[in-house]
Structure 1
Amino acid sequence: MIESHMHRLVQMENSGLINMIVDEKYEDLGRMYYLFRRVSNGLVLIRDVMTSYIRDTGKQLLTDPERLKDPVDFVQHLLDLKDKYDKIITSAFRNDKTFQNALNSSFEYFINLNSRSPEFISLFVDDKLRKGLRGVTEEDVELLLDKVMMLFRYLQEKDVFEKYYKQHLAKRLLSGKSVSDDAERSLIVKLKTECGYQFTSKLEGMFTDMKTSQDTMQGFHASHGSDIGDGPMLSVQVLTTGSWPTQPITTCKLPAEILGICEKFRNYYLGTHTGRRLSWQTNMGTADLKATFGKGQKHELNVSTYQMCVLMLFNDADRLSYKEIEQVTEIPTFDLKRCLQSLACVKGKNVLRKEPMSKDIVDTDTFLFNDKYTSKFFKVKIGTVAAQRESEPENQETRQRVEEDRKPQIEAAIVRIMKARRVLDHNNIVAEVTKQLQSRFLPNPVVIKKRIESLIEREFLERDKGDRKLYRYLA
């Protein structure tokens, strides 16, 4: 009787399997599971219909432009969906392993349909570790991180996640915005367990640099404290080039008051370390400025280094054109426009006035010190106008960097395999390389072929004279 009616029962319009899943009818789902397990293909039918439904709803989620506007909300929705299906499998389907495997393969399928999933998961972690975990217990933090790791396991491009995670972690560490060092380290331990030491060595190096920088600054203040007097205070983080995300070195002309103390630090650092070079990353710094507005109202402004360079020009001038600011500070055009936009166009943070007033910055604009600026807070943070997620050109650039990073990894895998096997045909090399690298990313067979060609040119491998598809390792 069950076998005769099971297809109709599963597909009934208002009370079939899909409706039970949508309405979270755990008892009804449990009854269906209990009945259908009595017939040979009963559970296969339930599993196939459930898998198809999960994949379809996942695809809809990934193609919904409204959902994709907010990466944090998008990932939260994924986690909520996973919780819901986990609960169904645990409470209604008796924790059936075959259902759990079907759920995992469905999530892996649709998460990887969106090439921006690694970026969005990293942005979700960034949001939570930056501000979203205050007032929650350590157990709740661990639970959330475990859920994030579950989504991470579904990613085929784990190296893309690493790229974004490194950028976001760097910003949190350098701005002192991380909500908890323990939570940061806990996630790195989880990533290390999942992907090995190689994956997290640079992330751990970033933490080491932060600690070393604290010790360096203590030494600097101990030896130069009396020289500084009432001048500006300097705090420097010395970043090892290989560990941190590579940033294009953009320089700007620092104010004379700042240059003096920067030079003292340079002399101190190079005097205590031999064979090193220092280059200032002014695009990554922040500053606290004391400002006095009309009627003697005082505020402390927390700004970026670029914003500091612009604001300090108004100590000696009431009105400056865009061109004058650009000429004196030498800040790159794109950064300068964003910087001026945040100082003059954001309501409640407009310590400068712009003429003519508009949302965008153009070369003909003029800027004035806003004497009438008021705020109910003594300390005012003026952020830089920036998008939470990368723009399409930035995303393309990140992708290109990832592709470049993959080339030596693919070549190393090919050489490792050929060294052990000595002679191997093309298809087997592709299969072996894919197997070795799939824990980090799924290499494209076309790229593998190009890397083999490159290794042949550099005489690591040679083609067999009789069979073009056979390669030999050259010792």
Structure 2
Amino acid sequence: MSNQKKRNFQIEAYRHRVVLDPKYAEKTWKVLEHAIREIYNRNASGLSFEELYRNAYNMVLHKFGDKLYSGLVSTMTSHLKEIAKSIEAAQGGLFLEELNRKWAEHNKALQMIRDILMYMDRTFIPCNRKTPVHELGLNLWRDNVIHSIKIQTRLQDTLLEIVQRERTGEVINRGLMRNIIKMLMDLGFSVYQEDFEKPFLEVSADFYRGESQHFIECCDCGDYLKKTERRLNEEIERVSQYLDAKSEAKITSVVEKEMIKSHMHQLVHMENSGLVNMLVDDKYEDLGRMYNLFRRVSNGLSIIRDVMTSHTRDTGKQLVTDPERLKDPVDFVQRLLDEKDKYDKIISLAFNYDKTFQNALNSSFVYFINLNPRSPEYISLFVDDKLRKGLKGVSEEDVETVLDKVMILFRYLQEKDVFEKYYKQHLAKRLLSGKSVSEDAERSLIVKLKTECGYQFTSKLEGMFTDMKTSQDTMQGFYASMGSEMAENPTLHVQVLTTGSWPTQLSATCNLPPEILGLCEKFRMYYLGAHSGRRLTWQTNMGTADLKATFGKGQKHELNVSTYQMCILMLFNSADRQSYKEIEQATEIPVSDLKRCLQSLACVKGKNVLRKEPMSKNIAENDTFLVNEQFTSKFYKVKIGTVVAQKESEPEKQETRQRVEEDRKPQIEAAIVRIMKSRRVLDHNNIVTEVTKQLQSRFLPNPVLIKKRIESLIEREFLERDNVDRKLYRYLA
């Protein structure tokens, strides 16, 4: 193979030129022109599309593409002008139907023409930067039909009139509308916009401006919102049925502007039916509708939120400052809880759990709860009421639910340390009198408080429970040590309280009966023998006693009384009659307590085991007391309470406030030292800001008090002032 010579082949062109018929182009075009007219006249069945394609192909091949293209433009233009005339001639409702029919025929014809001229479409048109056949057909339709003088305005008016008829409740031919609108979009989005969308939006704005004005004058707020919601939904449906999807945002924006934004303030403040009325009457559906409509426009939700905040603050302020409602602390707190439940439900059902609304509600509660300085005390009294035994129809689960709600109110308190003071007092009374609904409920609340405020807040409260348990063990040991002696003595139950953990109690003087005094001394000896270095102080103002009593006709009862009341009653074992002065001298009970005890023993109907001479509701120093021999009760056990105000008296309130202020001083100082230890140098305003931030979980420290504590720390040489800038402080290590 390698020895063979290479052979080169050459192909030569024809030696003679192919000469075309001079009339070739004209003849071929006539054939194609005829075919195009036949297609438009719906007589295409007799045409040979293969032959027509070949003719068009050869014209392009032989450089007659220009003639073919310009002939196509001319033929289509003249035909479309004829079509325009037939559409113009259509009367009334037939106008759109004729336009739709001719458009469908034009599209079908255009497809066939494009098939015949496919070669021109793919080669000649791109090379010569001409408009493709299909696009050309659309442009010519636009220019000669849609934009003809007699059709353009008529088409626009007809479409807008049909939309208007549909808005007034008429049923229209949506299929026909869909086809016509699609035709405008097929002709280019700018055609759809200019010939329909822009005028559509303009007349819609006029329509809704007028309608909203009519509605605002004759409807209440709820009805207006329903009508607005219906109109919005209608427009959204209209777009989905026969308009371009991009029009939805534009038409809804028109409705929102004219029907919502223009009348927002008027709707919210509408007399007898506006937002405040909806809130008062719990109209969740109307509120939800307002929320969903107003959220569509800028500032819509802030208007609702501001009015809600203003209303809740006003009603809350009335609730916490109304003297009538301050008479019953439990009712006071229950109303706050009801108010919170009410608005929580509104926010969940109507405002879609909107966080901004929840935050606004919380800030309102913080505002008005702290307007009443007694709110911490009242919340503690409410808890005390719920945690006491004997609540009818309240299960432990119900108590737990109530405690969770109370914790929400507790979070709103700015003076949590004041609540702690009262809570400690009330808890002490419950524990010492054994009147708690359950230890689990008590401990559950302490866990909640610890979670909210930290260990330090509850450490002393937990110490109280520890003391109660230790006291039980101590008493078992004491009884075991007494042995048979116990049978001869009254039963004694002592609770030993750690001084720092329990509320500070003034050691009130009281002379115990000899029978009790001897037993108390035995317990003292036992306890101090078991625990060296400790000191016991009897708190007679906190104890209770059970006495067995026999009255004139032999009726026997067991009286449950306070220690003070026991001391008074046991005086009557040795004398039938005692004057006020004699009782005071014998017992040495403080005057205010003595008068309350005597009042509860002699002046309370059904509990009056003593008689008073002269008879009156108040105790006077010249009164005389006797055993009420006629006393009787249908119960064997009779509990005699002490006449005492549920709330603190004004002097007691002042005393508690003073103790709170004293307790705050070391906390403020500790915070200042912590801050200065880490920052070393800091100016006055920043110290105040940092201290407030650190202590706000317990209370809001007064800037004046912070300044005083800074002065105190400077005096004790923890801090010093800068020599140049007197508002700058340095930490002294």
TM-score scaled by length of structure 2: 0.64
**Which of 531, 538, 544 pairs up with 1:286?**
544
Q: Does 1:72 align with 2:330?
A: yes
**Which of 585, 588, 603 pairs up with 1:327?**
585
Deviations 1:371-424 (A, max 9, x none): 111111100000010000011111111001100000000001001111111111
Matches within 5 A, 1:97-112: 97-112=355-370
Structure-2 separation of matches of 1:168 and 1:140: 20
**Which of 208, 215, 218 pairs up with 2:473?**
215
Matches within 5 A, 1:121-160: 121-131=379-389, 133=391, 135-160=393-418
Partner of 1:352 in structure 2?
Answer: 610
Matches within 5 A, 1:428-443: 428-443=686-701
Partner of 1:404 in structure 2?
Answer: 662
> Number of aligned pairs?
475
Partner of 1:245 in structure 2?
Answer: 503
Matches within 5 A, 1:76-95: 76-95=334-353
Structure-1 separation of matches of 2:583 and 2:391: 40
Deviations 1:305-343 (A, max 9, x none): 010011001001001111111111111111111111111
**Which of 340, 364, 369 pairs up with 2:598?**
340
Structure-2 separation of matches of 1:27 and 1:96: 16
Q: Is the 8 A contact 1:343 1:349 kept in 2?
A: yes
Deviations 1:178-224 (A, max 9, x none): 11111000000000000000000000000000000000000111110
Structure-1 separation of matches of 2:429 and 2:487: 30
* Matched AA of 2:319: L
**Which of 462, 475, 485 pairs up with 1:227?**
485
**Which of 568, 576, 584 pairs up with 1:318?**
576
SS of 2:488 mapped into structure 1: coil
Q: Percent identity, aligned pairs only?
A: 85
Deviations 1:24-53 (A, max 9, x none): 110011111111111011101000001000
Rg larger in structure: 2
Structure 1 residue runs without a partner (length 5+): none
Matches within 5 A, 1:159-170: 159-170=417-428
Instruction: Give 1:136 deviation, angstroms.
Output: 3.4
Matches within 5 A, 1:420-459: 420-459=678-717
* Matched AA of 1:87: K
* Matched AA of 2:348: T
Partner of 1:42 in structure 2?
Answer: 300
Structure-1 separation of matches of 2:483 and 2:393: 38
Q: Does 1:274 align with 2:559?
A: no
**Which of 195, 211, 216 pairs up with 2:453?**
195
Deviations 1:238-296 (A, max 9, x none): 00000000000012111110011111111110111110000100000000000000111
SS of 2:388 mapped into structure 1: helix
Instruction: Give 1:360 deviation, angstroms.
Output: 1.0
SS of 1:387 mapped into structure 2: coil
**Which of 115, 119, 126 pairs up with 2:373?**
115
Instruction: Give 1:139 deviation, angstroms.
Output: 3.0
Partner of 1:385 in structure 2?
Answer: 643
* Matched AA of 2:412: Y
SS of 2:324 mapped into structure 1: helix
SS of 2:546 mapped into structure 1: strand
Partner of 1:418 in structure 2?
Answer: 676
Q: Is the 8 A contact 1:33 1:93 kept in 2?
A: yes
Q: Does 1:467 align with 2:725?
A: yes
Partner of 1:32 in structure 2?
Answer: 290
Q: Does 1:297 align with 2:555?
A: yes
SS of 1:66 mapped into structure 2: coil
* Matched AA of 2:385: D
Deviations 1:113-142 (A, max 9, x none): 000000000000000101465543443222
Structure-1 separation of matches of 2:399 and 2:596: 35
* Matched AA of 1:166: K
Bigger drift between 128-137 and 252-261 goes to: 128-137
Structure-2 separation of matches of 1:399 and 1:136: 33
Structure-2 separation of matches of 1:223 and 1:402: 42
Structure-1 separation of matches of 2:395 and 2:518: 46
Q: Is the 8 A contact 1:133 1:141 kept in 2?
A: no
Structure-2 separation of matches of 1:329 and 1:87: 57
Q: Is the 8 A contact 1:157 1:442 kept in 2?
A: yes
* Matched AA of 1:324: E
Structure-1 separation of matches of 2:301 and 2:444: 39
* Matched AA of 2:617: K
TM-score scaled by length of structure 1: 0.99
Partner of 1:56 in structure 2?
Answer: 314
SS of 1:65 mapped into structure 2: coil
Structure-2 separation of matches of 1:228 and 1:279: 23
Instruction: Give 1:143 deviation, angstroms.
Output: 1.4
Q: Is the 8 A contact 1:461 1:473 kept in 2?
A: yes
Structure-2 separation of matches of 1:225 and 1:297: 33
Structure-2 separation of matches of 1:225 and 1:39: 84
Q: Is the 8 A contact 1:252 1:330 kept in 2?
A: yes
Q: Is the 8 A contact 2:387 2:399 kept in 1?
A: no
Instruction: Give 1:65 deviation, angstroms.
Output: 0.9
Partner of 1:261 in structure 2?
Answer: 519
Instruction: Give 1:14 deviation, angstroms.
Output: 1.2
Structure showing the higher helix proportion among its residues:
2
Structure-1 separation of matches of 2:433 and 2:642: 13
Instruction: Tell which has more relative contact order, 1 or 2 (C-alpha 8 A, sep 6+).
Output: 1
* Matched AA of 1:312: M
Q: Is the 8 A contact 2:386 2:399 kept in 1?
A: no
Deviations 1:131-183 (A, max 9, x none): 46554344322211110000000000000000000000000000001111110
Structure-1 separation of matches of 2:415 and 2:588: 38
Structure 2 residue runs without a partner (length 5+): 1-257
SS of 1:349 mapped into structure 2: coil
Q: Is the 8 A contact 1:172 1:178 kept in 2?
A: yes
Q: Is the 8 A contact 1:220 1:265 kept in 2?
A: yes
* Matched AA of 1:431: T
* Matched AA of 1:284: M
Structure-2 separation of matches of 1:368 and 1:60: 49
Q: Which runs of structure 1 show a deviation greater than 6 angstroms over 4 or more consecutive aligned residues?
A: none
Deviations 1:427-459 (A, max 9, x none): 010001000000000000000000000001111
Instruction: Give 1:63 deviation, angstroms.
Output: 1.8
Alignment RMSD (CA, Å) = 0.9
Q: Is the 8 A contact 1:134 1:179 kept in 2?
A: no
